[in-house]
Amino acid sequence: MITKAVFKCSSERISQVPKDNLPDIAFIGRSNVGKSSLINMLTRHHGLAKVSSTPGKTRLINHFTINDSWYLVDLPGYGYARTSKSTRGGFAKIITDYVFKCEKMHFLFVLVDSRLAPQRIDLDFIEQLGMNGVPFGIIFTKADKLSKTQLQRSISTYQQTLLQQWEELPPMFASSSEKGTGRDEIIGYIEEILNNFSKYSEK
């Protein structure tokens, strides 16, 4: 359960992220896919993360402290033409540094637009996560824009695409920030991850 959500800080680079042992649960995906909206939906705190219909709204790494014990992290989107300074496969350095080098980064949700066929840029990013052993799950956003059948078809196409390359599928969720869809499932999954984390860190 999320009982408290407070903005902590915005970081321009990973040397600026909070220096404590609280684990980060982060959200990444193409610009405009709905990362910031999802954070507001999960925390039931509208206006906590800045949302915009113009892609490229979130430019920094934003930490939100949840229940005084972990962080939800809103990241800048990728795949937006006007973002410069890219490194690995066209992903901005702020993103790759955080995802691949930041020790606080505990689990990453990759958001994909449920209305679209699998996009090359997302598949490339997912491939890098796999190769680097970054734990991740996939969230299909804007599910309110599709019928139940269309949504199922879209998820199943994604699964087929991933199975061409991977033996196992990552956890997958469908969400709508407009309707609150997927909230319980996503928070439930995060709680499982955090329980395992605290078991390990007690040892």
Out of 37, 62, 65, 83, point to the residue binding ligand GTP (CB under 6 A): 37
Residue 189 DSSP symbol = H
Stretch that binds Mg ion, among 50-58, 62-70, 126-134, 186-194 (CB under 5 A): 50-58
Tokens describing residue 127: 């491939």
Selection from ligand GTP, Mg ion, none that 84 binds (CB < 5 to 8 A by kind) is: none
E-assigned strands of 75-194? 105-113, 136-141, 172-174
How many residues belong to the chain?
Answer: 203
What SS3 state is found at 106? strand
Which residue in the block uniquely carries the two structure tokens 């994909």? 112
Tokens describing residue 203: 């040892």
Asked whether the beta carbons of 136 and 127 are under 8 A apart, the reply is no
Out of 63, 104, 106, 142, point to the residue binding ligand GTP (CB under 6 A): 142
36 binds Mg ion (CB under 5 A): yes
Stretch that binds ligand GTP, among 24-32, 131-139, 155-163, 164-172 (CB under 6 A): 24-32
Selection from ligand GTP, Mg ion, none that 110 binds (CB < 5 to 8 A by kind) is: none
Out of 4, 46, 101, 145, point to the residue binding ligand GTP (CB under 6 A): 145
Out of 21, 53, 147, 201, point to the residue binding ligand GTP (CB under 6 A): 53
32 binds ligand GTP (CB under 6 A): yes
83 binds ligand GTP (CB under 6 A): no
Tokens describing residue 18: 């909070």
11 binds ligand GTP (CB under 6 A): no
Asked whether the beta carbons of 11 and 63 are under 8 A apart, the reply is yes
C-alpha to C-alpha distance for 1 and 172, rounded to whole angstroms = 20
Out of 11, 43, 58, 154, point to the residue binding ligand GTP (CB under 6 A): 58
C-alpha to C-alpha distance for 148 and 199, rounded to whole angstroms = 38
Q: Which residues bind ligand GTP (CB under 6 A)?
A: 29, 31-37, 51-53, 55-58, 76-77, 141-142, 144-145, 176-178
